Amino acid sequence: MNVAAKTYQKGEIPGVIAIKASACKGCDACKRHCPTGAITGSFGATHSVDVDSCLSCGQCLINCPFGAPYETSDTVDEVIARLKDRNTTVVGIIAPAVRVAIGEDFGLPAGSLVTGKLYGSMKKAGFEILDNNFAADLTIMEEGTEFIVRARHAVFGEKSEHGAEIGPLPQFTSCCPAWVRLVETKYPTLIPNLSSAKSPQQMAGTVAKTYGTKVWGKSAEKIYTVGIMPCTAKKLEASRPEFNNAYEYNKKNGRALTDKPYPDIDTVLTTRDLSRLFKKLKINLAAEKDADGGSLLADYTGAGTIFGNTGGVMEAALRTAYAVLTGEELKPLEFKPVRGLKGVKSASVKLKDTKYNKEVTVNVAVIHNIAENIKPVIDEVLSGRSPYHFIEVMNCPGGCINGGGQPIYGNGSSWLGAIRPLFAWK
Amino acid sequence: MISQKTILKHPLSVRIFHYLLILSFLPLAVTGVFLYFKPLSESAMNLTMQIHVVAGVVLTLDAIAFFLIGFNRVVLFLKRIFYFSINDIKWFAILGGYPQKILLRKKVVVPSMGKYNSGQKLFGICVLIGGTILIFTGWILWALPHLMPREAVSLLGTLHTFFAWVLTLFLLVHLFLGIYMFDDFKAMILHGKIPYDEAKEMAPLWVEKEIISISENSY
Amino acid sequence: MEKQSYQYIENPLHVTRREFITIGGIVAAFLALPAVWIKMVTSSNNNYILARTKGLYRDDEKASIRVSHANKSVARYYKEFGGEPLGHLSHELLHTKYINRTKGLS
């Protein structure tokens, strides 16, 4: 079926989203939510997914009124088998957006914050917890520092301490795998602008199988990492073959027990998948008692948790970059201009770089719902006229909280644009 | 005793409305069935959908135009189809005598009916409610499926399919009986007139209560 | 052609004014309902996105520490294992390279 896939490396899931022909009514609703026009099939005929254009973002899946798109990768039963295996430490890596959405699958109102109940349910199911918010904090340390290095290089001509190549401005965030894939498949000249920092999920996987071996006292081979994500594209991201840094590191340092390579993230469950897993194990999240994370890898800050909102990565990065550059905390911490559902949000921050004792202005932009909003911003960057230094991009409307792996909220739609009819024809 | 007197049953406005209805609903029903089973190639399915959409627009405009131009007739129609009496139950008990007449060639006594008999009233109610729902859901499914709530669109899709089947099946019955009652067929398709005696037999209450002679009226 | 080819018509006064207004009013109300309904559901379309957004901002507000560089466990990670941000081990473990995927396409 996917023999023609030309934009995937060996070992990658060639497209997480497919369309069930029997359920498709050919109504074209999905095409309006697709960021890349990857859905083929004329109006009235059954649709299918062009895997080479597809970002695996899953917006078609959560917005199809007839439930035609589905995920090609489903590992719920595999994870249950691992949970039952006493020799394996199954580490659940919970993304920020999961905790405000999974309650919906257990009858709680939309937006219920259920971190404690989620921890409790996961422990009951047999997971160790690595909160991805911890990895988000780690991402901010890496990505924020990277931005400071890039900015000082661009403004003051500072050289890298490590002799590494310093990427150009504007720096794009790299947390969103759909966005990364859009750059890789459509705008390869922008690859240097992408932050080289891995996404929180991949950092978490690497940390779990390196530093985590100390935390849980298990060898990396016995640790099974499960990304629990609001996102279908994360399934594709986890399958990228280069993401086995923990194995490479352990092998190099003589800590690999066998020659069998293992990925940083063994598998990914979406929020919906996790709900199904709980239901199969007869765990009712809504009735579960609150629990805490149980290890230092579950510690997180407010900056890590807002990663799930559009503008959240930028706000978290600004809080840290501001403190590093000026030596003072940002006041107030809430950076309102990057919040909300406006398509392209931009802001300027004036601050004093204490190292050079100079006033600098940082222009930032936040883009979500790339189906509608990415084009003009990318064109500006490609033509070299972009006023921005740091740009956060998230594929889904509203950010990860409305990701393709989230519970499908029946009484709503991802459409953020003007209320206008579109008359499908071809 | 055969007289040549006739009654104007379907004025020109009604006939034009009905012509456009034939022109739009027949293609809609046929393409609808194709869209349901999806048997054709991609481009043929696309063409099918395009015909469905164009016919749907014609149907909508037809309905709106008739509503605006012939609103008094719409009201009259509503009053008739929603007026029930004990006769309707009796009528349904023997199905209007049609099975006996068609299958057994036997004539039974049928309760007196108004302009529409009970079966036609039921058909009228289904066409009115079903047609309105089909038009309404059809437009949303065509133009707004991306911004309406997912479950709402899904529900509208189910309603559209359900009423489409109801009306398509009713259409078959209507086509058969419409042609079988040949005087009525000529009245609707050609000149609008129906023989006075025929009407008196088929719709005695209508002739008795609602029909007036032109001479009485105009002179 | 004869002026009138038919002799009878329906009595145009068969509907009284009162009936006309009542039935017409009910019809108009029924036609207005869908319009109101569409307006209602489309305006509350994105409420679930706003609710989830609010949920995460609430998680931020109630957090005792709200900036990444003050996360004690992250600091401990760098101290015990990772070195420093953008350091040697970070490059090896926490950073990556991207692939130009347009080469496979002609």
Q: Express each pLDDT in A54-65 by its tens digit.
A: 999 999 999 999
Q: What percent of chain B has pLDDT over 90?
A: 44
Q: Which two tokens stand for residue A247?
A: 């194995």
Does B77 lie at the interface with C, CB-CB under 8 angstroms? no
Q: How confident is the model at residue B196 (pLDDT cuts 50, 70, 90)?
A: confident
State residue C28's pLDDT score: 85
Question: What's the whole-number average pLDDT of chain C?
Answer: 86
State residue C2's pLDDT score: 41
**Which of B148, B154, B40, B129 is closest to B78 using CA atoms?**
B129
The active-site residue, picked from A31, A234, A235, A345, is A234
Does A99 lie at the interface with C, CB-CB under 8 angstroms? yes
User: Tokens 């993230």 appear where?
Assistant: A265
Residue scoring higher pLDDT (B210 or A344): A344
The active-site residue, picked from A143, A221, A315, A392, is A143
Instruction: Give CA–CA dist A23/A72, Å, rounded.
Output: 16
Tell me: pLDDT of B94 over 90. no
User: Is the CB of A137 less than 8 angstroms away from the CB of C87?
Assistant: no
State residue B218's pLDDT score: 45
Q: How confident is the model at residue C4 (pLDDT cuts 50, 70, 90)?
A: low
Tell me: pLDDT of A126 over 80. yes
Q: DSSP assignment of C20-44, as one string? A: HHHHHHHHHHHHHHHHHHHHHHHHT
Domain boundaries, chain B: 6-218
Chains in contact with chain A (at least 3 beta-carbon pairs closer than 8 A): B, C
* A175 part of the active site: yes
Tell me: pLDDT of B214 over 80. no
The active-site residue, picked from A237, A288, A315, A392, is A237
Q: How confident is the model at residue C106 (pLDDT cuts 50, 70, 90)?
A: low
Asked whether A2 and A14 are in contact (CB, 8 A), the reply is yes
Q: Which two tokens stand for residue A94?
A: 């919970």
State residue B69's pLDDT score: 86
B144 contact residues in C (CB cutoff 8 A): 38
Question: What's the whole-number average pLDDT of chain B?
Answer: 88
Mean pLDDT across A123-137? 93
Instruction: Give CA–CA dist A262/A173, Å, rounded.
Output: 27
**Which of A110, A298, B109 is closest to C46 using CA atoms?**
A110
Tell me: pLDDT of C14 over 80. no
Q: Which two tokens stand for residue A12?
A: 């990658």
Instruction: Give CA–CA dist B32/B161, Å, rounded.
Output: 9
The active-site residue, picked from A128, A146, A288, A315, is A146
Amino acid at A391: I
Mean pLDDT across A214-242? 94
Best to test chain B binding among A19, A43, A46 (most B CBs inside 10 Å): A43
**A346 Cα to chain B: minimum distance (Å):** 26
Residue of chain C nearest B194, judged by CA positions: C6
Amino acid at B111: P
Mean pLDDT across C59-77? 92
Structural domains of chain A, ranges and CATH numbers in brackets: 17-71 (3.30.70.20), 76-134+199-302 (3.40.50.1780), 139-158+165-197+309-402 (3.40.950.10)
C54 contact residues in A (CB cutoff 8 A): 111
Tell me: pLDDT of A99 over 90. yes
A73 phi/psi in degrees, rounded to 5: -115, 120
Q: Which two tokens stand for residue A20?
A: 């069930």
State residue A206's pLDDT score: 95
Instruction: Give CA–CA dist A274/A281, Å, rounded.
Output: 10
User: Is the CB of C105 less than 8 angstroms away from the CB of A415?
Assistant: no
Q: Which two tokens stand for residue A207?
A: 């940390």
Which residues neighbour B206 within 8 Å (Cβ) at sequence distance 6 or greater? B113, B114, B115, B199
Q: DSSP assignment of A5-61, as one string? A: --S--TTS-S-SEEE-TTT-----HHHHH-SS--EES-TTSPPEE-TTT-----HHH
State residue B36's pLDDT score: 94
Does A250 lie at the interface with C, CB-CB under 8 angstroms? no
Query: For chain C, what is the largest distance between any 2 Cα atoms, rounded to a whole number of angstroms?
Result: 109
Question: Distance between terminal CA atoms of chain B?
Answer: 27
Does B151 lie at the interface with C, CB-CB under 8 angstroms? no
Q: What percent of chain A has pLDDT over 70?
A: 98
Q: Residue A44 is nearest to which of B46, B144, B146, comparing CB atoms? A: B46
* A64 part of the active site: no
Mean pLDDT across A177-198? 95
E strands present in C1-106? 8-10
H-helix or E-strand containing A226? strand A223-229
Asked whether A134 and C71 are in contact (CB, 8 A), the reply is yes
Does A158 lie at the interface with C, CB-CB under 8 angstroms? no
pLDDT digits (tens, 9 = 90+) for A276-314: 999 999 999 999 999 988 888 888 999 999 999 999 999
Mean pLDDT across C69-94? 91
Tell me: pLDDT of C1 over 80. no
Best to test chain C binding among A305, A315, A334, A413 (most C CBs inside 10 Å): A305
Q: How far is CA C87 from CA A154, A199, A316, C93, in A?
A: 20, 17, 21, 10
Mean pLDDT across A379-408? 95
Q: How confident is the model at residue B217 (pLDDT cuts 50, 70, 90)?
A: very low
Question: What's the whole-number average pLDDT of chain A?
Answer: 92
Determine the CATH number of domain B6-218.
Answer: 1.20.950.20
Number of H helices and E strands in chain C, helices first, is 4, 1
User: Is the CB of B45 less than 8 angstroms away from the CB of A42?
Assistant: yes
Q: How many CB pairs under 8 A join B and C?
A: 70
Q: How confident is the model at residue C3 (pLDDT cuts 50, 70, 90)?
A: very low
User: Is the CB of C68 less than 8 angstroms away from the CB of A109?
Assistant: no
**A299 Cα to chain B: minimum distance (Å):** 37
Residue of chain A nearest B42, judged by CA positions: A45
Does B53 lie at the interface with A, CB-CB under 8 angstroms? yes
Helix, strand, or coil (residue A224): strand
Asked whether A212 and A104 are in contact (CB, 8 A), the reply is no
pLDDT digits (tens, 9 = 90+) for C23-44: 888 888 888 888 899 888 888 8
Tell me: pLDDT of B10 over 50. yes
Tell me: pLDDT of A372 over 70. yes
Does B43 lie at the interface with C, CB-CB under 8 angstroms? no
State residue B215's pLDDT score: 64
C43 contact residues in B (CB cutoff 8 A): none
Q: What percent of chain A has pLDDT over 90?
A: 80
User: Is the CB of C86 less than 8 angstroms away from the CB of A146?
Assistant: yes
Instruction: Give CA–CA dist A218/A91, Å, rounded.
Output: 11
Q: Is the dihedral of CA A253, A255, A257, A263 positive or negative?
A: negative
Instruction: Give CA–CA dist A47/A40, Å, rounded.
Output: 6
Instruction: Give CA–CA dist B17/B58, Å, rounded.
Output: 11
Asked whether B1 and B57 are in contact (CB, 8 A), the reply is no
pLDDT digits (tens, 9 = 90+) for B40-67: 999 999 999 999 999 999 999 999 999 8
| Angle subtended by helix axes A200-209 and A132-156, to nearest 10 | 110
pLDDT digits (tens, 9 = 90+) for B170-195: 999 899 988 888 888 888 888 888 88
- DSSP letter (8 states) at residue A194: B
Residue scoring higher pLDDT (A194 or B111): A194
Asked whether A110 and C52 are in contact (CB, 8 A), the reply is yes
State residue C104's pLDDT score: 73
Asked whether A341 and A416 are in contact (CB, 8 A), the reply is yes
Asked whether A302 and C66 are in contact (CB, 8 A), the reply is yes
Q: Residue B214 is nearest to which of C4, C23, C24, comparing CB atoms? A: C4
Asked whether A94 and A118 are in contact (CB, 8 A), the reply is yes
Tell me: pLDDT of A24 over 70. yes
User: Is the CB of C86 less than 8 angstroms away from the CB of A145?
Assistant: yes
Q: Residue B143 is nearest to which of A64, A413, A422, comparing CB atoms? A: A422
Best mean pLDDT range from A153-167, A262-276, B9-23, B186-200: A262-276
**B20 Cα to chain A: minimum distance (Å):** 23
